[in-house]
């Protein structure tokens, strides 16, 4: 397959919002390949790095993260603005504005409309993508997922089936389904996303930068997303 890349003519400051299982990670990877000027900034990765290095921010965030709670907004804001500064995109002086060439995808941030409002004062986001796959499709994809626990190899009986049903291709050992892949857990996760994302989507809809990309698979969504970014930024 030939690798097609595109150059951005205008800075793209992008956020992807989508339910768990919708393929945000896949779309992010594909966007980074297609548009090499984009960088991805993940709040979860930055936090884990701070925890690992035992920075004062990491120590403050660790308890909330371990309990599965969101860390306080002020910490996240500090984290993101220092990342922008370390990339040379934001001058150190207070109130400085973002470099006009900085192009990035934010991953995991903002999570709430409060965070989105704070981000507006720091860096104006200019493209917010709502990735949509019907929940019934996400659930059936999860239900078809089987893993070989010892190696972590993942199969999907719909599009990446093992050669012998129920057996790992390499070792022939039995495949299992993850406990946290149960239908009940996933239904809850999807409901929670619906609830928490509503205010965030409304926030960006009011700003006029929200765009919806719908599809049953990542392969269906990617071409639409590429075309829209090319239209807006290339
Ligand atoms: P993630 O890798 O995005 O799932 O993030 C891992 C953990 O980091 C989350 O469970 C939260 O505790 C914390 N975290 C990441 N991003 C945020 C955010 N935007 N606001 C608050 N907490 C966050």
pTM: 0.87
Domain span including residue 78: 45-102
Same domain, 127 and 50: no
Most confident of 7-16, 87-96, 186-195: 7-16
Same domain, 131 and 191: yes
The pLDDT assigned to 92 comes to 74
Mean pLDDT of the 172-177 span: 95
Distance CA 181, CA 167 (A): 18
The pLDDT assigned to 91 comes to 80
CA of 190 to the centre of ligand 1 (A): 17
Please choose, from the candidates 152, 192, 136, the residue with its C-alpha nearest in 3D space to the C-alpha of residue 144.
136
End-of-domain residue from the set 54, 84, 102: 102
Whether 1 shows a pLDDT value over 60: the answer reads no
Same domain, 153 and 207: yes
Which CA distances in Å does 21 have to 62, 76, 131, 181, 186? 25, 24, 10, 11, 9
Task: Give the CA-trace dihedral at 167, 170, 172, 173, to 10 degrees.
Answer: -80
User: Domain total for the chain?
Assistant: 2
Rg, the chain, Cα only? 19
Same domain, 164 and 135: yes
DSSP H or E run through 127: strand 127-132
CA of 48 to the centre of ligand 1 (A): 9
Q: Whose CA is nearest to atom 19 of ligand 1?
A: 109
Which mutation among 18, 47, 66 tests ligand 1's pocket best, with the greatest number of atoms within 8 A of CB?
47
The pLDDT assigned to 228 comes to 98
Mean pLDDT of the 173-202 span: 90
Q: Is 189 close to ligand 1, i.e. is its CB under 6 Å away? A: no
The answer to the question of whether 6 is labelled as a binding residue is no
pLDDT tens for each residue of 83-113: 999 988 888 777 777 888 899 999 889 998 9
Q: Taking a C-beta distance cutoff of 8 angstroms, is the pair 145, 151 a contact?
A: no
The pLDDT assigned to 2 comes to 61
Mean pLDDT of the 158-185 span: 91
CATH number, domain containing residue 211 = 3.40.50.300
């Amino acid at each position: 397959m030939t690798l097609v890349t595109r150059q951005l003519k205008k800075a793209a400051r992008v956020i992807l919002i989508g339910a768990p299982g919708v393929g945000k990670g896949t779309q992010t990877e594909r966007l980074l390949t297609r548009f090499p000027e984009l960088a991805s900034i993940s709040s979860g990765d930055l936090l884990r790095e701070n925890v690992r290095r035992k920075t004062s921010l990491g120590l403050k965030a660790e308890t909330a993260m371990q309990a599965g709670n969101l860390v306080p907004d002020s910490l996240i804001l500090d984290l993101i603005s220092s990342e922008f500064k370390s990339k040379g995109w934001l001058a150190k002086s207070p109130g400085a504005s973002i470099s006009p060439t900085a192009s990035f995808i934010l991953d995991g941030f903002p999570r709430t409309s409060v965070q989105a409002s704070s981000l507006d004062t720091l860096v104006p986001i200019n493209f917010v993508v709502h990735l949509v796959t019907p929940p019934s499709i996400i659930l059936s994809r999860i239900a078809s997922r089987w893993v070989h626990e010892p190696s972590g190899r993942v199969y999907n009986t719909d599009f990446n089936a093992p050669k012998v049903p129920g057996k790992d291709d390499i070792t022939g050992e039995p495949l299992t389904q993850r406990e946290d892949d149960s239908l009940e857990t996933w239904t809850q996760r999807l409901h929670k996303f619906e609830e928490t994302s509503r205010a965030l989507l409304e926030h960006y809809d009011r700003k006029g930068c929200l765009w919806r990309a719908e599809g049953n698979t990542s392969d269906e969504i990617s071409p639409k997303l590429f075309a829209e970014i090319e239209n807006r930024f290339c």
